Structure 1
Amino acid sequence: MTRSFIPHPPSLWGHHFLSASVNHTEMDDLWSQIEALKPIVNAMLLPCNGADAKQITCLIHTLVSLGVYYHFEDKIVEFLNDAFENIEDMIIDCKEDDLYTVSVIFRVFRLYGHNITPDIFNKFKGDDGYFKKCLNDDIRGMLSLYEASHFGTTTEDILVEAMSFTQKHLELFVVSDKAKHHPHITKLIQAALYIPQNSNMEILVAREYIGFYELETDHNAMLLKLAKLNFRFLQLQYIHDLKTLTVWWKELDLVSKIPNYFRGRLVESYFWTTGVYYEPQHSAARILLAKALILFDVVDTTFDVYGTIDEVMGLVQSVERWDSDAGDALPDYLKIVFGTIFDLFKELEENVRPEGRSFPMQYAYEQLKIAMKGYLQEVEWSSTGHVPSYEEYIEVGISSTAAEMLLAITFIGMGEIAGDEIYEWLRSRPKLTHNLIAKSRLRDDISTFKEEMKRGDIANGINCYMKQYRVTEEEACVEFEKRINHMSKVMNEEFLKAASFIPLQILRPVMNYGRLGDVCYKYGDGYTFAGEKIKDYIISLYVDLITP
């Protein structure tokens, strides 16, 4: 049987990291230097050492921006819990016109799950109800308020006003003559206007901020040293992880075993996992999650571009049966696809077996079946030329992201901190995860619309919306952007609610999933085509090593 499909562009990286060498002696030395500096920072986080609460909060903002906060998480959480009880005093202690510090305080407390009121920004408004014009000259304060405005919820109109006000003036600043005299702050503003920190990957924020902080005349040399040591250590860890993944992928050798219809985005998949959790203690979890992403890309493209309707129905039935010989009746190439999924889940089981828990795997398998049915439904729509209603599409489209299964795998890699109660929470389909998955779906739909239409996948989100509401592609995309913006606010809202009963170590990766769609799909399909921006990100993390 002859099949036609348009091959995906080849990976930009191939087996680049197979030959990479990591100097473990250097890693040990870097870690020793980091450990030597940590007590100094811990002391800086203690109010009894002379720093007031707002100074410590600004220090926490610096630690977060530099990507080193995870070394001091317990101290930070303890300080913020205590400080929040007297938050009004901290705000009063700020100078009347100190927009920068007030905005930083707001961001830090929101980031750690404290529902600080945005009313603290009212003092920066004039009698006419608008933000004061004199703020226009406070470019650092404006940038800080712009970043703070992205923590808004669905009911906080003042933050909508703040975003509009600051965005307008920041955009004017970067094209003004003033910008030429302040190149390093201008670069940071341009980065924020492209993707604000609360929508960006933590590790990319750190890479950008280290360069900015170094050019600040009042920077703390010890903190800069710590940030550079930490970042280089992380880069070496990432290269080691990528080498491990590349060896696994080479040994799996799907390229020679099945038709080459899949994308094979190993490095891009690992980049995705770095966005979920970048810290060194999650190395094994990143590798496990990257394997899942790579293999489910194969599954996704099997449904999308290669398998016949009968073949993929057989694959779904094999997953329903779920035993080692369930794929025996499948075509040869699908036997291999099924075998890789089955082996992946066996590896996941090995991860939870020492903990004596079965619930994580039960949940992951449930979500696997739901994702497979979602893939199948989309194929059935396309094969019959059926364009469903937008509401019908989005329900299936959320399933076919496989995001709930990937979240389960994310937590399996994290070990015992993700107890059964976390999987029960996921199973309840909380508004937080529902909105982040829907947001990712819509972001993906906007970026992949033209490619999907080219290959005949007419049951996609944009097309369904266009047909149902009789609007143009441009109008549909505008509406999707509005919905994405609203979903981001719902996520902020639900994060604040969930922070009272779900550990931050769990909530942070969940929120990071929501950010990945912005990084990879906001300006095109950065996963499939790995455009210049994603390529630059990958180079900045895994190729161009920072010098401590």
Structure 2
Amino acid sequence: MNDLWRQIEALKPIVNAMLLPCNGADAKKITCFIHTLVSLGVSYHFEEKIVEFLKDAFENIEDMIIDCKEDDLYTVSVIFRVFRLYGHYITPDIFNRFKGDDGNFKKCLNDDVRGMLSFYEASHFGTTTEDILEEAMSFTQKHLELFLVGEKAKHYPHITKLIQAALYIPQNFNLEILVAREYIDFYELETDHNEMLLKLAKLNFRFLQLQYIQDLKTLTTWWKELDLVSKIPVYFRERLAEPYFWATGIYYEPQYSAARIMLAKSIILVDIVDNTFDVYGTIDEVKSLVQAIERWDSDAVDVLPDYLKVVFRTTFDLFKELEEYVSSEARSFTMQYAYEQLRILMKGYLQEAEWSNRGHLPSHEEYIEVGVASTAGEVLLAMTFIPMGDAAGVGVYEWLRSRPKLTHALFVKSRLRDDIATYKEEMKRGDVCNGINCYTKQHKVSEEEACIEFEKKTNHMSKVMNEEFLKAAKFIPLHILRPVLNYGRLADVCYKYGDGYTFAGEKIKDYITSLYVDLITL
């Protein structure tokens, strides 16, 4: 790994020079280059310079757009995507130039496949009030699908593959590390690719893979030493790759190695606790666990059944381990917030267990209120930021405690995605207290109609997240906001086409293999 890192460090100044306007590149070309860096997964090496450039360039954004050719859909779309990705509000009115007098997008765009793909990707940055981006999504999707079944697709296989990937999950809803793996293959087949940049991207990805493998070994050692399978009934799925995949999705960069391992441990623990409430513990037993969590001291285990003593002790020890990442002056605030969210999560689990035990079907509104808490989103966000140390200060937790619209939209989106993906399996095991069932009974609609409505609400929450991200980016650092967005992306990647977390399908297995097993060819 040291040799790889030395090669990466040697290439960085060469690539860094390409970001300098003094080399003759105009602002729009540099913006397109930034898009390539982001897509290849190497932008974090140049983050400060990128942020500085975009901040300065945004002051003259209108000139940059005017400087684009009238029919240059690709460049205008890339500019829109890059600035929004970095938290700058750029109006979608810039796309009006591509409409004719009839108010529809010009027919001459139909043959611009690269422009269409970039415009399609741009449309997924839309907010709740940007109708033109909704039009763009329908328009571009239709023509990209037509391209895939036409003759031209056979002549451009690498573009075809990128289009298929985008139609499956667009970049803004996909995990950064998965986008990088796909885009490296695409970029290599581009005739005008830069050899130095391609080499950097491959070396970087190989380095990350080796880091991930090392992380997984550390996680495996921890799990074996924990030895829960010999201490409590195995009512949970014993797995490490899936939780670590989630952690990789939240922050893929090498500097977050310890944070990824810590977050993976947290996800494993939350999963075990969730199964305790869902499939194993009696109501009296899980009530006693909630009470022990409320007391939060080592003596609280005395009244618990033996297996719950182990669950409580494991939870207690994990939080003590988390404390090691927090500086003394911030520890009380950050850990207090994490404890609060753990207690809220436990109460949410208990409420759902009581509903199920009584055969009670709550209203959809009641279910969502409790269901948002039981996504474990708030406690996992707390556990996400704690291992980041000083990079996530007290101000971050004050923001989280204010319950911003961004995180609320994230939790609702996650709840809805989970409900769509898991309700059939839950109904099979007799768990009727799920979101889809609550909705169908209350509104007298079919399961299919309920799923369509949930999908609409999910799409709306994605727009709310886009909107609130742009607002929050004015005062919250990007390295804090990105993990929040990445939780939303995980919901899309893992739950959009089934329950990819509980029952890892072929797609999730392929992702895991591509990251942790099949090393990229240098």
Q: What is the TM-score when the length of structure 2 is the normalising length?
A: 0.99
Question: Does the residue aligned with 1:500 lie in a helix, a strand or coil?
Answer: coil
1:165-180 counterparts in 2 under 5 A? 165-180=139-154
What's 1:198 paired with? 172
Instruction: Say whether the 8 Å CA contact 1:303–1:376 is kept in structure 2.
Output: yes
Instruction: Say whether the 8 Å CA contact 2:327–2:390 is kept in structure 1.
Output: no
1:393-408 counterparts in 2 under 5 A? 393-408=367-382
Change (3 A) 1:355 1:541: farther
For 2:327 and 2:192, locate their aligned partners in 1 and report how far apart those are by CA, in whole Å. 51
User: Are residue 130 (structure 1) and residue 104 (structure 2) matched?
Assistant: yes
What's 1:287 paired with? 261
What's 2:115 paired with? 141
Instruction: Say whether the 8 Å CA contact 2:323–2:331 is kept in structure 1.
Output: no
Runs of 4+ in 1 over 4 A off after TM superposition: 353-356
For 1:76 and 1:354, locate their aligned partners in 2 and report how far apart those are by CA, in whole Å. 33
For 1:538, give the aligned amino acid: I
Q: Please state how far the C-alpha of 1:199 moved relative to its aligned partner.
A: 0.3
Instruction: Say whether the 8 Å CA contact 2:215–2:257 is kept in structure 1.
Output: yes
Q: Please state how far the C-alpha of 1:49 moved relative to its aligned partner.
A: 1.6
For 1:292, give the aligned amino acid: S
Identity of aligned residues (%): 83
What's 2:331 paired with? 357
Residues 163-188 of structure 1: CA deviation (Å, up to 9, x unaligned): 00000111111111111111000000
For 1:53 and 1:109, locate their aligned partners in 2 and report how far apart those are by CA, in whole Å. 12
**Runs of 5+ unmatched residues, structure 2:** none
Q: Please state how far the C-alpha of 1:329 moved relative to its aligned partner.
A: 1.2
Q: What is the TM-score when the length of structure 1 is the normalising length?
A: 0.95
- Count the aligned residue pairs: 522
Question: Does the residue aligned with 1:351 lie in a helix, a strand or coil?
Answer: coil
For 2:330 and 2:513, locate their aligned partners in 1 and report how far apart those are by CA, in whole Å. 40
Q: Please state how far the C-alpha of 1:224 moved relative to its aligned partner.
A: 0.2
For 2:50 and 2:125, locate their aligned partners in 1 and report how far apart those are by CA, in whole Å. 19
What's 2:271 paired with? 297
Residues 230-279 of structure 1: CA deviation (Å, up to 9, x unaligned): 00000000000000001111111111111111122311000001100000
User: Are residue 95 (structure 1) and residue 91 (structure 2) matched?
Assistant: no
Residues 88-116 of structure 1: CA deviation (Å, up to 9, x unaligned): 11111111111000000000000000000
For 1:95, give the aligned amino acid: K
1:309-388 counterparts in 2 under 5 A? 309-353=283-327, 356-388=330-362
Q: Please state how far the C-alpha of 1:311 moved relative to its aligned partner.
A: 0.2
Q: Please state how far the C-alpha of 1:354 moved relative to its aligned partner.
A: 5.1
Say which of 428, 434, 457 aligns to 1:483: 457
Q: Please state how far the C-alpha of 1:527 moved relative to its aligned partner.
A: 0.8
For 2:175, give the aligned amino acid: M
The answer to which of 385-394 and 453-462 deviates more is: 453-462
Residues 482-525 of structure 1: CA deviation (Å, up to 9, x unaligned): 00000000000000000000000100111111100000010001
What's 1:537 paired with? 511
Say which of 103, 116, 131 aligns to 1:157: 131
Question: Does the residue aligned with 1:326 lie in a helix, a strand or coil?
Answer: helix
For 1:417 and 1:358, locate their aligned partners in 2 and report how far apart those are by CA, in whole Å. 17
- Superposed CA RMSD in Å reads 0.8
Instruction: Say whether the 8 Å CA contact 1:390–1:464 is kept in structure 2.
Output: yes
What's 2:59 paired with? 85
For 2:329 and 2:194, locate their aligned partners in 1 and report how far apart those are by CA, in whole Å. 43
For 1:281, give the aligned amino acid: Q
Instruction: Say whether the 8 Å CA contact 2:405–2:468 is kept in structure 1.
Output: yes
Q: Please state how far the C-alpha of 1:357 moved relative to its aligned partner.
A: 2.7
For 1:212 and 1:358, locate their aligned partners in 2 and report how far apart those are by CA, in whole Å. 48
For 1:96 and 1:178, locate their aligned partners in 2 and report how far apart those are by CA, in whole Å. 25
Q: Please state how far the C-alpha of 1:355 moved relative to its aligned partner.
A: 5.8
Q: Please state how far the C-alpha of 1:353 moved relative to its aligned partner.
A: 4.2
1:111-122 counterparts in 2 under 5 A? 111-122=85-96
For 1:468 and 1:356, locate their aligned partners in 2 and report how far apart those are by CA, in whole Å. 46
Say which of 500, 514, 518 aligns to 2:474: 500
For 2:505, give the aligned amino acid: G
The answer to which of 352-361 and 285-294 deviates more is: 352-361
**Runs of 5+ unmatched residues, structure 1:** 1-26
For 1:104 and 1:455, locate their aligned partners in 2 and report how far apart those are by CA, in whole Å. 47
User: Are residue 422 (structure 1) and residue 401 (structure 2) matched?
Assistant: no
For 1:425, give the aligned amino acid: W
Question: Does the residue aligned with 2:300 lie in a helix, a strand or coil?
Answer: coil
For 2:300, give the aligned amino acid: A
For 2:376 and 2:501, locate their aligned partners in 1 and report how far apart those are by CA, in whole Å. 16
For 1:413 and 1:462, locate their aligned partners in 2 and report how far apart those are by CA, in whole Å. 36
